Chain A
Amino acid sequence: MPVEVIFPKVDMDMERGRIATWHVKPGERVSKSDPLFDIETDKAAMEVESPAEGFLHHVLAKEGSEVAIGVAVAWIYAEGEDVGDVPEGRPTPADAPPGREPDRDETQWQRPAQATSPLDAGNRRATPAARALAAQRGIDLKNIGGSGPRGRVQAKDVIANLQAPEPPLDTRSLPGWRPERGDLAVVRSGSGAHAPILMFHGLAADGPSLEALDPLLPQDREVLKMELPSHGRSPRRRVAGFADLARQVRVRFDDLALDNVHIVGHSLGGALALALADTRPRQVRSVTLISPAGLGPEFGGQILRGIIRAGSAASLGPWLRQLTSDPATITEDYVRAAMAARGDAAMRAAQADMACTLFPDDTQGFDVSGTLNRLDCPARIIWGRDDKVVPWRHALRAPGKVALHLLEGVGHLPHVERLEEVASILSDNVCRSSRSRAAN
């Protein structure tokens, strides 16, 4: 009998999700616990392991397709087992197309089901291609303006919507920008035989903003800094949402082909570090989060908007000083250097768009807190008690196995405000993790 591969429930209030990537092609051999596919939900992305050893067949859910939990998305056949028709008995994606509630037993755990009617999307004029594309990308046709006759939504309208989910709220004074091609930039420094450290900066920052840590970290390994889309030397790109951003990061991470890596993330980079750890658990040896986003709704959006919008040192300085507990930490030189790195107006416009997408109405529109419970590598959170951008109390959602370092008199930039202390905590996490893995 072939073994069903179920689209699993990974978050408590999850009803459906998307298959982001299949790691195994139909017909290929897979071992038990090999990574089989990545899933994405509104809140998380994670890797699903193979439930059995054998050969993958009947892959019913394509990459990008939205699937209800509990649905069979493929089957694994033992060597020599006859592959016939798709086995019956379980709901498959075809049985429960997107937009319909799947049958479930544990309804008491679910949010009250929304009264969705198949006609909610159906009464919108749209071409079959547009409907298929929207369903595949989990987009509600109601939110899309149709460019065809009588407002008919066409495929190109859905595609345009993918790339520009909402108009920037606050960009009237900002120039426009165009997406660019190319890979996300990765800055490398140091070398050595040990597992490298990979860092992610936060919104409106860049790779060099974390450079000060380099000389204080263990010198026996390489340090890499991946720059987010529309940041630093990375190309300007549209970001459809947090899951899309995490996917872009994951794609670049996979390119780097790092077998073992310690990951570090600040603010938005912290949320991305968590998302990456969730989907690539085999490669990630430790996680260090500095003032991470994604653990709660509150967000000091005004400060970030001010930084992003600032076109001169004079307008940038006051906002930067909001980031730290002691405004004096941010010197005029610091401000001038920061402004020099932010001179490209198109980049600032792209960052504004990204901010609008990720933090609508000054709210963190994504939640990766569930990830913390699933982490099986050492993890530490470093947070300043005076953080005005992301409140440190979000850290309290972390489970007991995650170490929490709360720093007095520190704001949103612990690695600037307490460079040595942060480097020390980080180094400790890296070295201990290396030892513990080696001991195993």
Chain B
Amino acid sequence: MNAESSVRGEVHELSYAESIRDAMDIALGSDERVVLMGEDIGVYGGAFQVTGSLVHKYGEDRVMDTPISELGGAGVAVGAALTGLRPIFEFQFSDFSTLAMEQIVNQAAKLRYMLGGAVSVPLVMRLPSGSGTGAAAQHSQSLEAWYGHVPGLKVAQPSTPRDAKGLLLAALEDPDPVLIFEHKLLYKMKGPVPSGYYTTPIGKAAVRREGTDLTIAANSIMALKAEEAAKTLADEGIDAEVIDLRTVRPIDRETVLASVRKTGRLLCVYEGVKTLGVGAEVSAMVAESDAFDFLDGPIVRLGGAECPIPYNPKLEEAVVPQVPAIIRAARDLANGAI
């Protein structure tokens, strides 16, 4: 489980959305039990055109348009997973999963435990997430910490086309419910994606850039912003290590702790609301561990502002961490100025 499973075949430039579709295509083509469920994922191709034309290839029985019934739809997916199918359930926006909290949190996450291990719920849910599209408060949230708080769920957040495919295929192999938060701003981003089947391990962070002066632990799109910030910091002589958490439950303690033991400084960057967010967990993880002894400055968190995502583009940009803010925080931390 520690490395991307062996990759054979060629590498293509695919967008994040295409890469997810590629994964679903492979899954539908190789396993009769796999069905896609979601609102407008058929001929419409999905709200973000992720399922695209898969319905034409596999038919409406395999690529199922659901009514606008998030709770019922999620519950049907739970029941189907419980009894032999491998559903991939798409929420149109991760915000709408709040309508299905009951089925996700009370049922999918807990059934195995409540029944003493007698069942598994091999369910994959895809949740388009995050701000930056001007869709305002009810279509822009980052709710990964909510679900990451629930034992029984696994929560992944790919930040590259390659990981988007690998994590989805890994989620399908996983016997337990996996929620994949896909950042909406990444759907069009291109990157190298191996053709054919491979998996990216759930629970393993990626060190995107090695460095010695501070550790930036980030999730989803923030990992990319952190990488960009690290380039500027390098010009200033600050050598930042960037960790893309990739999954927040299970969270890869060891990679983070090893990095902090090396750098002595930790900056957490995440788009979700700062309070009680992913960065709180990462910070506490370090504070509770032996890596604490290596800290040579306070732990710093950059998270979303304590407000809903606003509509106005300037405000929208201001309420989530951006590259200049990451640079400032990293610089101050590395220079011992905070």
Contact = CB atoms under 8 A, between A and B. Distances in A.
A149 B264 contact: no
A154 B293 contact: no
B241 to A, nearest CB: 16
> Majority SS of interface residues in chain A?
helix
A149 B295 CA distance: 15
A149 B300 CA distance: 14
A132 B336 contact: no
A33 interface: no
Interface string B286-302: 00000011111100000
A154 B294 contact: no
Contacts of A149: 336-338
Interface in A110-148: 127-132, 147-148
Size bin of chain B's contact surface: 10 to 19
Mostly helix, strand, loop or mixed at chain B's interface? loop
Contacts of A131: 293
Interface string A152-166: 101110000000000
B295 A129 contact: yes
A156 B335 CA distance: 11
Interface residues of A, number: 13
B294 A132 contact: yes
Interface in A351-371: none
Nearest to B261: A129
A128 B336 contact: no
Contacts of B338: 149
Contacts of A129: 264, 293-296
B336 A154 contact: yes
A128 B295 CA distance: 5
Contacts of B294: 128-129, 132
B206 to A, nearest CB: 26
Contacts of B293: 128-129, 131-132
Interface string B139-165: 000000000000000000000000000
A10 B95 CA distance: 69
A292 B337 CA distance: 48
B337 A127 contact: no
A154 B337 contact: no
Interface in A79-132: 127-132
Nearest to A130: B296
Interface of B: 264, 292-297, 336-338
10 contacts: A127-B264, A127-B295, A127-B297, A128-B292, A128-B293, A129-B293, A129-B295, A147-B336, A149-B336, A154-B336
